[in-house]
Amino acid sequence: MKLLEDRIRKDGVVKQGDILKVDSFLNHQMDVELFNQMGEEFKRLFADRPVNKILTIEASGIGIACIVAQHFHVPVVFAKKSKSVNLEGEMYTTKIESFTHKRVYDVIVAKKFLSAQDHILIIDDFLANGCAVSGLIDLIRSAGATVEGVGIAVEKGFQEGGKLIRSKGIRVESLAIVESMNPEDGSIVFRPQEN
């Protein structure tokens, strides 16, 4: 999506440790008009899928997921990072290692919000090593629900997550795929996309 690539080039900051900072428009201050155009694009890309719910993970996926959901006219559920899992009977649980915080979280979704009848679109801001998305897939499978696809704002194509999730036969659509980035000069190269 050219609009998002242009914005990343303009306002994204390449940090050491393979981190792309986009906090001026994506995951701290949020450009809701941009989110709206991203939502329109995800709707176009997943138009053939019978999505009835969007699943994301707190915190930075929530804003994007909510705007995307307006285009699908479906509710959003966000998986919560929990320090203690003491309600296991009522929750689906999994573990996710945070790429940015380098720690493992227990992540939960209440059973009442995921069921075998659900057809889920996963939405998140970044795809790096794929831990967050794998954990969300785990929660969906625990509920016996169907993964209809994964919509990502920014995929870092030089990390393994995209390959990992696609190798499970799951459709992943990323609006911008960073092929390489250089913290020394701030340059970012995007993977050419067809649509």
- Which one, 2 or 28, has the nearer CB to ligand 5GP? 28
Q: How far is the CB of 167 from ligand 5GP (least distance, A)?
A: 14
Least distance (Å) between residue 30 CB and ligand 5GP: 13
Cβ proximity to ligand 5GP: between 111 and 183 the closer is 183
Report the distance separating Cα 159 and Cα 99, nearest Å.
Answer: 11
Choose between 1 and 96: whose C-beta lies nearer to ligand 5GP. 96
**Angle, in degrees to the nearest 10, between helices 60-72 and 32-45:** 60
Strand partners, 80: 108
Beta carbons within 8 Å of 61's beta carbon, 6+ residues apart: 78, 123, 124, 125
CB of 25 to ligand 5GP, least distance (A): 11
Q: Which is nearer to ligand 5GP, 136 or 145 (CB)?
A: 136
Residue 195 three-state SS = coil
User: With respect to ligand 5GP, which residue has the nearer C-beta, 91 or 131?
Assistant: 131
- Shortest distance, CB of residue 8 to ligand 5GP, whole angstroms? 11
For ligand 5GP, which is the closer residue by CB, 100 or 115?
Answer: 100
- Report phi then psi at 23, rounded to 5: -75, -5
Beta bridge partners of 20: 14
Minimum Å gap between C-beta 130 and ligand 5GP is: 5
CB of 54 to ligand 5GP, least distance (A): 15
3-state secondary structure 102-168: CCEEEEEEEHHHCCCCCEEEEEEEEECCCHHHHHHHHHHHHCCCEEEEEEEEEEECCCCHHHHHHCC
Q: Which residues bind ligand 5GP (CB under 6 A)?
A: 19-22, 27, 60, 99-100, 124-132, 161
